[in-house]
Chain A
Amino acid sequence: MATELHGQIGPVEKETPAEIPADGPADGPADAPAGPDAPAAVRVHGLTRTFDGRAVIDRLELTVRPGEFVALLGHSGCGKSTLLRILAGLDREIEGEVLVPRTKAVAFQSPRLMPWKRVWRNVLLGLPGRPGRAVAERALAEVGLGHRSTAWPKTLSGGEAQRASLARALVREPDLLLLDEPFGALDALTRIKAQQLVAELWQRRGCAVLLVTHDVEEALLLADRVLVMDHGVIAYEREIGLDRPRDISDPRFAELRAELLDRLGVVAPTAAPTAAPTTATAASPAASPRKAA
């Protein structure tokens, strides 16, 4: 399950080993939290990204273990998407060291399907070799979209389009899956289904996932570890030891939720007996109010 780290992104002029065998001796950053020799799916050291002289990401450190599901929380505009784009290799005007797997895939907040390609062709777009349609059909079936493979993207519903985008990411069999608020634009019911789907796919595939979200409950439902980003760094992190599948009515869930909301500077709603959000049953997690975006 070790992930082969590949391709140092960014400062192109810097000469460092481009590939680090994850299970062999690697000269990674000495102060990485997981230790330099531990296998990693992402290793970021001293990452800085400035826009017009303003450091949106400021000497950030981050390590993600292979197969780990990490959720990244933070206020709007704190640089979550910027970090994700850097990890995806889409933004390379950076300083510092970034090591990511060779195979990685991204799903954005909007599905970003090419409207002029039928769904199955979208899924195969950019894949090396000339994979047959069956490959796309299999990936689409996995996200429950087998019956829509010949549809035009613009005829899909929001949830369907987002699932197609997920299939397109998964068909690349990534070692690292980057998700940028993929459920943000979905209605509450569709979002719950999509979250369950991502949890299932992750457990089946075993890839590392970095999920950017502003939804504390979503983070707690899905992640092994929750990070809070603030002032350009990972300001806080928390291992989530809850058993899966997670129960939103678990008192420990409520505790963690309050703690994270506190970290985000949001006053957690006090549990009034009439409208206690955390007393919602697990069967209807949508009934609990979400943090205002």
Chain B
Amino acid sequence: MSPVLEPVVPLSARRRTVPRWLRRTTGPLVLLIAWQVCSATGVLSPDTLASPGTIARTASDLIGDGTLPHAMLVSVQRVLVGLLIGAVAGVSLALVSGLSRLGEDLVDATVQMLRTIPWVGMIPLFIIWLGIGEAPKIALISLGVTFHLYLNVYAGIRGVDAQLIEAGTSLGLGRWGLIRHVVLPGALPGAMTGLRYSLATAWLALVFGETINADDGIGFLLNRAREFFQTDVIVVCLIVYAALGLLADFIVRTLERLLLQWRPSFTGK
């Protein structure tokens, strides 16, 4: 007796479903509509939260009169300067302690000890030391960035495969050759992870730094809006923070795609 045969249906022949992207945007869209409806019917008072429509209008006004672009420029500048200082410090320290035993003994224990201090808690000290200008904000950003980059680059250097170092030695590479061709490229994935974390930290530090005292930048807009209960402006500022964070993440991803294309796990084509 022969078995009953049934066809194996090709995937493409299955009934058309709603495209994935549409399904994924449904949730946020429903939320947005609900929000707008609540605002329009008066369930949500503008003093609690402005309506999406108001927020969109406020955003276009703020962009139109140049307030928002200027504030963004100031804030991005703070992040970039802080990031640069933090990156130089973090990577230098990691190189010193990653590449030499003496450096490790001198630097690593110290950094590990300082790392236990929550960097946000340093704000009062920074204000006392550096006043209330740009310096304390940049210092706060630099500090957060330094620790993240240090930890990841250091771990990256120490995690380089000893077999590859031995192979490099057998190929006749000297100390600097090994560092250049084996250790540093090997530490790059760790460094990129560190960069990603430190960017996130940098934005966080920016928000903290700017809400304490600022006469310029997104944080300043945010603070002033709070005083006048302008919830629309507050939401616009939050959206800007989020967008800038996304942009930073995009930049890191692009950088990774360029620098880490040798990794088999990489599928960002």
Q: Residues on A close to B: CB < 8 A?
A: 85, 88-90, 105-106, 108, 110, 112, 114-117, 125-128, 152-155, 168, 172
Contacts and interface: CB of A to CB of B under 8 A. Distances in A.
Contacts of B106: none
A110 B167 CA distance: 10
Contact of A105 (B164, B170, B173, B262): B170
Given A90-B169, A126-B168, A152-B261, 13 more contacts: A90-B166, A112-B163, A114-B168, A114-B185, A115-B263, A116-B185, A116-B188, A125-B168, A125-B171, A126-B171, A152-B262, A153-B262, A154-B264
A108 B172 contact: no
Interface of B: 163-164, 166-173, 177, 181-182, 185-186, 188, 261-264
B187 to A, nearest CB: 11
6 contacts: A88-B170, A89-B170, A108-B163, A112-B167, A126-B181, A152-B264
A110 B163 contact: yes
B268 to A, nearest CB: 15
Contacts, number: 55
Contact of B173 (A108, A125, A153): A125
A188 B168 CA distance: 29
Q: Is the interface of A mostly helix, strand, loop or mixed?
A: loop
Nearest to A155: B264
A108 B188 contact: no
A-B pairs with lowest CB-CB distance, top 4: A126-B171, A112-B167, A116-B185, A154-B264
A125 B167 CA distance: 10
Contacts of A153: 262
Given A114-B181, A114-B185, A116-B188, A108 B263 contact: no
A172 B170 CA distance: 11
Contacts of A155: 264
B170 A154 contact: no
Contacts of A114: 164, 167-168, 181-182, 185
A115 B167 CA distance: 12
A126 B173 contact: yes
A149 B86 CA distance: 39
Contacts of A116: 185-186, 188, 262
Query: Which of A89, A112, A152, A168 has most chain B Cβ within 10 Å?
Result: A112
Contacts of B264: 152, 154-155
Contacts of A152: 261-262, 264
B164 A112 contact: yes
B263 A126 contact: no
Contacts of A125: 168, 171, 173, 181
Contacts of A89: 170
Contacts of B172: 126-128, 172
Contacts of A85: 166
Query: Which of B164, B172, B188 has most chain A Cβ within 10 Å?
Result: B172
B166 A126 contact: no
A89 B171 CA distance: 11
Nearest to B174: A126
Nearest to B259: A116
A190 B181 CA distance: 30
Nearest to B189: A116
